[in-house]
Amino acid sequence: MNGVKVTIGTNTIQAKRLIGSAGGTISVTSGPLAGVKVVFPPGAVDQDTAFTLSYNSGTLVPKSGTASGRLLDIHSSGATTFNEPVSVTVPYDKTANVVPVPYHVDSSGYLEPCQVKRINRTAGTITYDIFHTSLFTEIWAALTGEGGATTYRPATNGFQIVNTGSSYNPGGECFGISAFAQWYFSNKADGLYPKYMEDIPLQSGGTRKGQSIIATRAHTSLGQQWNSYIPAVTAQYNLTQEDIYVSIINAIKNVKLPVMLYLKDKETAEHARHAVLAYDYYASSGAISINDPNYPGQVLTARYDGTTKKFLPYNGYKGIYLIGLGSFFTESFDSIYKDAESGFDGSGDAQVTITSHTFDQEVNQRTVTIVGKIESGQVLVTKIKLTLNGTTPFEAAVDAQGNFSVPVSLNYGENTIAFTTYGKNAKGFTVETPNNQLTPFKLKLILNKAVILVTLTWNTNNTDLDLYVIDPTGDASWYQHKTTADGGQLDYDDTSGYGPEHWTLLDTNVVRWGQAYRVRVHYYSDHQSGTPEPPTIPSGYTINVLLYEGTANPVTLNYSGVLSSESTSNISPTATGPDWANVVDIIPVQPTSGAQPQFIRDPSGPVKLLVPISEEMLAPKQESPPRQ
């Protein structure tokens, strides 16, 4: 890539402010950034974050147009990406006959166009949207130059597959195809067109080409921001078509890469909106060379009429707009590239590898942490659920590199663990993605048996719910006092989401037969902050109770509910309020012959569980003989 490169200098802070989930504005009234305004809408950040606006002393010499002389560095103490687009407004000389074009400056100093939202020629300002902190600048563009801007060619550098979509994105994947082709051309020396055309098998049957899987991954990643991004793109409808044309030409000339165009207003409903790459232009004729994912390998042309100052319809599309990819943040395309280079490990589905344990391994600790790595297939995996013995779920987030770490509470003897993987489709909805763990993983716990084992899990990340068990003496086991005098023990306090937390009373501890052990759940915090305080994220909890572990007839019961209030102060084991749930009173009864379980609802609310057991139930569970 031989595009314009910024020589990055040093930063001098011009303004700073704490921005919370309610949003806010940072303005600069004097100095080299005078007139700059950055607006954070509600929900752009989850919690109070310190932001600074700095002037960078670097330099930029464009190949086309004039540098604004302003390098704006937006920096934060925490969040580097935004949930909603943040708008940046900067001044320009409204008396000059130019079109202002904003750019993101990457860590190497190269430019990528940002998404223009508005040009106000009366006020002399331009507004553009961003989804991440970084260094930004502008070029004042004029219509100059004559082609030869890039060496990109569709039959060498584009995709070979036709844009037909997938089960995840049935409407097509033009956005992902165009964006990945641009990235590959920028970062890799060889041509994309002939690569990754091998057939990759799927668990559901059939195969998909490697390029098709790349298209799905890339489109899904970008599409998750598209709903928030649409207002910025549609705001271009207020720009003149000459503004858009000059911006496209300036970007191609300075970046030396194809730029993405958004097409709309097609005369037929089929493929009413579309994304393509523009990779060259000819000012004298107004021709723009197009790589269209619907016509791989072909050279197509869009045209701008310099006399009427309007675009002619391209393939039925009347509207042509520039998409500023520099405003986006996405899954690293390098991760997709590495998966493609490995042939997606021979499968279009997620590949789960457990690195912490071996199949059928014996362990002597009840709580183990299952650690592993996921190579994503058609959709980037962001969450994993481990289901223990078909009943108890344990969930955790998966990081951008595919790593996961899930604490799991095992039962006495043999345990089976089933793996379910999840990602997000292009609309941002969580979807289950197939994986290679078709046979449940097995671990065997060799440890004293539990008379009572209580497990708490919940369904929200970055939240803190707490398990409390109050024994018949009034001794409470909770995160500030984990072990009771009788030996009942809370294993640990999970503060980051999902759980699990476990309370165990072993057969070697003091068991108070015929007396109640009360199980409670408290919502401590959802870790949000801001002014005003944002509403609490509701969290659904599940309590799993296992009684008489390792006997011939263990009892397993599940309870669930939702807490929608939180409190970091109302934490006493006997506290009450909307942030608390009394889940169940467990009353183990001394072994008797022929006794049957009973269930009684206490008038005060909690369920009382009476579980008389027989001598036979206390007998050790008989192991099955090994297979020959």
Digit-coded pLDDT (tens) for 429-481: 788 999 988 889 999 999 888 999 999 999 888 899 999 999 999 999 999 99
Is 393 a residue whose pLDDT tops 90? no
**CA pseudo-torsion sign 109, 115, 119, 123:** negative
Q: How confident is the model at residue 377 (pLDDT cuts 50, 70, 90)?
A: confident
3-class state of residue 183 by DSSP = helix
Calculate the alpha carbon distances from 358 to 354, 390, 396, 622 in Å: 8, 20, 20, 24
Is 614 a residue whose pLDDT tops 50? no
Nearest CA-CA partner of 216 in 503, 366, 431: 431
Is 170 a residue whose pLDDT tops 90? no
Is 133 a residue whose pLDDT tops 70? yes
pLDDT recorded at residue 328: 62
Lowest mean pLDDT segment, chosen from 57-61, 329-333, 354-358, 580-584 = 329-333
Token pair of 278, please? Answer: 């523009």
pLDDT recorded at residue 225: 63
DSSP 260-323: EEEEEEESSSTT-SEEEEEEEEETTTTEEEEE-TTSTT--EEEEEETTTTEEPPBTTEEEEEEE
Record the pTM: 0.70
**CA pseudo-torsion sign 207, 213, 219, 220:** positive
pLDDT recorded at residue 461: 85
Cα 522–Cα 525–Cα 528 angle in degrees, nearest 5: 160
Digit-coded pLDDT (tens) for 496-554: 888 889 999 998 999 998 899 999 999 999 887 655 667 888 999 999 998 888 887 78
Is 325 a residue whose pLDDT tops 90? no
Q: How confident is the model at residue 326 (pLDDT cuts 50, 70, 90)?
A: low
pLDDT recorded at residue 592: 59
Domains of the chain, residue spans: 11-142, 154-326, 350-446, 448-622
Contact 616, 552 (CB under 8 A): yes
Q: Which residue has the higher pLDDT, 98 or 359?
A: 359
Q: Do domains 11-142 and 350-446 have the same CATH topology?
A: no
Q: Which CATH number fits domain 350-446: 2.70.40.10, 1.20.120.850, 3.90.1150.10, 2.60.40.10?
A: 2.60.40.10
- Mean pLDDT for 92-117 is 89
How far is it, in rounded angstroms, from Cα 215 to Cα 167? 12
DSSP 532-558: SPPPPPPEEEEEEEEESTTBSS-EEEE
Token pair of 516, please? Answer: 């109640």
Which residues are bridge partners to 478 per DSSP? 481
Digit-coded pLDDT (tens) for 221-236: 777 666 655 655 665 6
Top-tier CATH class for 11-142: mainly beta
Nearest CA-CA partner of 528 in 46, 39, 25, 42: 46
Q: Which residue has the higher pLDDT, 75 or 264?
A: 75
